[in-house]
Structure 1
Amino acid sequence: MAAQLRTRDYGRMLDLVVAVLEHEDLGSAWHLIARELLDSLGCDSATFSEVWIAEGTGSVRGWAPDALTEIVDGLVERRIMQGHPLLEYGLTEQAPVKITDICDDWRNTQWYREARRDFGVTQQVGVPLACEDGKMCVALVGRRGDFGDRDLAFLTRMQPVIQTMANHVYELRRLRSAVVPDVGSDLTPREATVLGLLAEGLTAAAIARRLTISPHTVNRHLERIYRKLGTNNRVSTLMVARQGGLVA
């Protein structure tokens, strides 16, 4: 498959590595990687997910091509409940794969209907990424139309690049955190908003009304906030948030 790649493909990979290494804003490093995948493959969407399958939860970042927030909210949980085939595949296999190759009835599934409705795509390719035990990480790109051999070859070559860049970002964040407290640096804008309303004394139901979302969605945001801040209840969360300067 590598013989099908062009010289400029390798050049773009090198440019991506340099861009991420020189990038100081860790929060948008994934956006650089997503933009490269979107541009190089002519894709319409790109997401990066971390999934704790045993817990039935996870986190996801997405672009199509602009940053997605509400559309990917709760996406991992839905895919776990729906039994998306990529979840099982990513635990045992490493090669990039078209969803139609692991799901014969792809076009009659709920995740196909959601992918077409939300992202405008009719085909997706999953790129598994190495994670610690108990967690599955995957990059998922999609577009309207099929992916050819050259596309899969490009993603196969890009896979270790994405993996290395992910490790670089995670390690750099860890090192910065060890030197300067960086509590809540991984909070999404919506999670930060929910945390701010929580600090104002609003209940989950009141936050839901304020943001025009369901209480269930608010609780999912709170669960992620707890995990990211290393807490497990409202009181300890607000204490950590105040100590870290996240809320007044």
Structure 2
Amino acid sequence: MAQLQIRDYERILDLVQAVLHEGDPDSAWHLTAERLHAAVGCVSVILARLPSDGLPGVADGWSPYWLGPDVGELIARRMEQGHPMVPYLLAGNTDPVRVTDLCDDWRQAPWYTEARDLCGTTQQIALPLPGGPPGHRALSFGRVGDFHDRDVEFLRRVQPLLVTMDSHLRELSRLRAAVAAAPTPDDHGLTPRETTVLGLLAEGLTTQAIGRRLGISPHTVNRHLEKVYRKLGANNRVTAVALARRGGLVA
């Protein structure tokens, strides 16, 4: 197994910190793609969603940003061209995989020629993100030159964090939508993570249930709640939820 260096772990922590402090769930995956773009050292990063019901694929985030206008069509073409990563993902596999692990004649494929001409990439690796919304999702990385065992190990280590961040972003987006009709005059300095925990608390979830929903431990949930109580001036969950509803922080 390839060994990671301290700098690799620093990049992972920087990524987590950046996303958890991003207040806009809709732009968080673009931010994640940008950070992974630099951390992995590649030419392109695309978060692709492949529906299992035959509908066209969707891109939830990408880097560099200039790929934007064509990303959706690009995913659709990859599915039509029979890219080997498509059946791999649709089969429910969860391990990071290089295209060279799936086929030997990729240089003769139309998707290889298109990727080389469009972005200059000659190698690709996919990182599945299991456990999300319906459909199969993965981050696709393109590079000039090979992806090595250390790259695979880095993505394997960062995968659980990305899955957890995805749960956080989906819950934050859902809770923001629930209070969209009630503007918040004062957010009391709550971070996006604290807002998400508070919203789930207001829905009646226990500490353990919040932890399961967000993929974190009950101890971590309690730490977030302690900060929420302090910022709201509350000393228990009933008072905190009441103050949050009065202030329009939760539905």
**SS of equivalent to 2:150:** helix
Structure 2 counterpart of 1:50 = 49
Q: 2:173 matched to 1:168?
A: no
Do the aligned residues in 2 keep the contact of 1:44 with 1:143 (CA within 8 Å)? yes
Unmatched segments (≥5 aa) in structure 2? 183-251
Identity of aligned residues (%): 46
CA distance in 2 between partners of 1:167 and 1:48 (Å): 15
Q: 1:67 to 1:166 in 2, by over 3 A?
A: farther
Post-superposition shift, 1:56? Answer: 3.4
Partner residue in 2 for 1:179: 179
User: CA 1:132/1:35 → structure 2, altered by over 3 Å: closer, same or farther?
Assistant: closer
Residue of structure 1 equivalent to 2:22: 23
Partner Cα separation in structure 2 for residue 62 and residue 68 of structure 1: 10
Displacement after TM superposition at 1:66 (Å): 2.8
Deviations 1:29-68 (A, max 9, x none): 1122112221112100000011113323121145442342
Using a 3 Å threshold, how does the CA distance of structure 1 residues 181 and 118 change in structure 2: closer, same or farther? farther
Aligned 8 A contact 1:56 1:80 in 2: no
Find the residue that maps to 1:70 and give its secondary structure. Answer: helix
Q: CA deviation at 1:77?
A: 1.9
2:69 is paired with a residue whose SS is coil
Which TM-score applies when normalising by structure 1?
A: 0.67
How many residues align? The count is 181
Hey, what's the Cα distance between the residues in 1 that align with 2:133 and 2:23?
A: 29
For residues 41 and 76 of structure 1, the distance between their equivalents in structure 2, rounded to whole angstroms, comes to 21
Whether contact under 8 Å (1:54, 1:134) holds in the other structure is no
Tell me which residue corresponds to 2:33.
34
Q: Say which SS state the counterpart of residue 140 (structure 1) adopts.
A: strand
Deviation of 1:85 after TM superposition, in Å, equals 1.5
Give the SS at the match of 2:46. Answer: strand
Cα distance in structure 1, aligned partners of 2:73 and 2:125: 20
2:78 aligned with 1:74, yes or no? no
TM-score by length of 2: 0.67
Instruction: Give the Cα separation in 2 of the matches to 1:81 and 1:54.
Output: 15
Gap change, CA 1:122 and 1:33, over 3 Å in 2: same
1:83 aligns with 2:94: no
Kept in 1: contact 2:99–2:125 (CA 8 A): yes
**d(CA) in 2 for partners of 1:94, 1:33:** 19
C-alpha separation in 2, matches of 1:149 and 1:15: 22
Q: 1:110 to 1:63 in 2, by over 3 A?
A: same
Shift of 1:114: 1.4
Q: CA RMSD in A?
A: 2.0
Give the match for residue 10 of structure 1.
9
8 A Cα contact 1:98 1:124, kept in partner: yes
Partner SS for 2:72:
coil
Question: SS at 1:77's partner residue?
Answer: helix
Conservation of the 8 A alpha-carbon contact between 2:84 and 2:102 = yes
Instruction: Report the alpha carbon displacement of residue 132 of structure 1 after superposing the two structures with TM.
Output: 5.5
Q: Secondary structure at the match of 1:121?
A: coil
Q: Deviations over 1:152-174 (max 9, x none)?
A: 11111111122111221111101
> Which residue in the other structure is 1:188 paired with?
none
What does 1:142-161 align with in structure 2 at a 5 Å threshold?
A: 142-161=142-161
Distance 1:138 1:181, change over 3 A: farther
Distance across 2 between alignment mates of 1:53 and 1:116: 28
Give unpaired runs (5+ residues) of structure 1: 183-248
Letter in 2 for 1:77: A
CA pair 96-135 structure 1, distance change in 2 beyond 3 A: same
The structure number with the bigger radius of gyration is 2
Match of 1:202 in 2: none
Residue 17 of structure 1, CA deviation: 0.9
Q: Distance in 2 between matches of 1:39 and 1:62?
A: 15
